[in-house]
Each structure stands twice: as C-alpha cells, then as structure tokens.
Amino acid sequence: MSGSLASWRDGPAREALVEFVDRTVSNAVPVDERVAVFDNDGTLWCEKPMPIQLDFILRRLVAMADAKPELQKRQPWKAAFERDYGWFGKVMADHYAGDDTNVRTLAGGILAAYEGISVEDFESEADAFLRSAQHPTLARRYLQTAYAPMVELLGFLEANGFSNYIASGGGRDFMRPISHEVYGVPRERVIGSASTFEYTRDEHGGTIRDIPMLDFTQHTDKASLRLLVLHDDAEREFDYTSGAEQALEQADTSGWTVVSVKNDWATVF
C-alpha cells in the first residue's frame, strides 16, 4: 500500500480503513472498480455554526437588502439583514422533521440572489469568498477548514488506485473551484446541487442525502466500507448530532464505521 494517514490515531476506525484498502489491493480489485464517494459538508470540511455556502448566500442577501430596503421586511432577506440565525436554524430543523415550507422560502431567496449570473461568474465569486472570508469561530479562512485526516484519506485512497468523488447536497459550482486544490478531486468528479442554468439545454442537479448514498455502497458480492463522521469534539471543532440521529442509529445496526473526531483524529485542521 501507498500513502499516509498521519493525522489518524491508532484505533478501530484507522484499522478499518487500512484493512479495507489492503484487502482491495491484495485481492487485485480492478482499478476501475475502486471508487470512493464522499459527502462534503461535515465530512470533508466544517459545516458549523452554519454551512459555509450559507454564509456566502447570507452576505449576498444582506447586500440585496441594503440596495432594496423593501426586502428587509421579507424572508429570507429579513433574517439575513437582522442576523436572525435562529430563523435559518429553524428552517433546517423543520426540514429534518419533514416540513419544507420555509425551505421553499429560503430557496426562492437564493434563486433570486443569483438570477442571471453565469456559472463562471458564480464560481469566481465563490472562489474569492472561500479564500478571503474568515470562519466565525475557528480563526481561519474557510479554505482552511477542510479536515486534515479526511484530506489524507483522499490521498491514501488515490495512492492505492481509487477514484475519489464528492457527492453533496451543497452547490456544485460552489465546490468545484477549489475541489482539486483542497481535496485533490478533479472538478468533473464533484456532484452537487445546482439551479437550472440556460445553455443550449437545461441542466440541474439534486440533493443526495447521506443515508441513501451509504446504503447504495453496500454490496453482497464486492468489498465496501461505509464511514460516518461523528462530531464530538467541542474543544477543537464542534460537538453535535442534530440531523444525524437516524444515520448514527443505522450505523450501529448496519455495522458502519463511525469516525470520532475526538478519539480518532490527532489533528483536525
């Protein structure tokens, strides 16, 4: 095997990773069958106190509300302008509970915020934001909030013949500008959400939730490894399970490998 997992502590999670890759290489699994797929938010980079792309969007909504004061009385511009992060938190909580009423309101604001912008201009704005904007509590730029152990894992897999992909509910064109620099993942292997853009034909994408993606990777006749990151380190990052309760329960019953930030990672960033 090739590659290094220097930021991983010895333990069951690291052992599972090494054993899986060793088995793949030893059994001469064809390279074109060695595929690894990762979510992004909360798996490859930090998603608290809010998803990074949400901060990017909020700043755009505030700028719109400054330019058109009448928007300050309408959601989601009202919450963005007043820095009412509780409203956005409730949107996500309601979403996890099955109520997408306010998700549609938020989506309408997002679509209005970037109506008419080209993919190239959107990517340029996203790239500049990620390089300049600071995370509100971690004292580092957003571009530096990728998890070092996961970046190492991507490199470890690639060094052993795997093709890495990112399949995320986050914006495709938000991630693609930095995916190769940060993760070593080519932009064409980044799959994410997208609005409908006007080319010679329409193209759009949809959200892929963690559980269906993890379920999909299970095979009875082929080796597979399913990982779930548990955020349990308030000192170095964040401690939360909100939104992941069902996934953690299924991890226990289905034998998924749960990676503890606190116990399994010697370094977080």
- The reported pLDDT for the residue numbered 204 is 29
Question: Which residue, 101, 99, 243, is CA-closest to 169?
Answer: 243
Model confidence, pTM? 0.87
The domains of the chain, with CATH numbers, are 12-45+146-264 (3.40.50), 52-132 (no CATH)
Q: Position of tokens 């309601």?
A: 94
- The reported pLDDT for the residue numbered 199 is 36
Q: Which residues of the chain have pLDDT under 50?
A: 196-208
d(CA 132, CA 191): 24
pLDDT digits (tens, 9 = 90+) for 84-134: 988 988 888 888 788 999 999 999 999 999 999 999 999 999 999 999 999
pLDDT digits (tens, 9 = 90+) for 168-177: 989 999 999 9
- The reported pLDDT for the residue numbered 207 is 32
Torsion sign across C-alpha atoms 5, 8, 11, 17: negative
Question: Which residue, 26, 57, 187, is CA-closest to 120?
Answer: 187
- The reported pLDDT for the residue numbered 194 is 77
- The reported pLDDT for the residue numbered 198 is 40
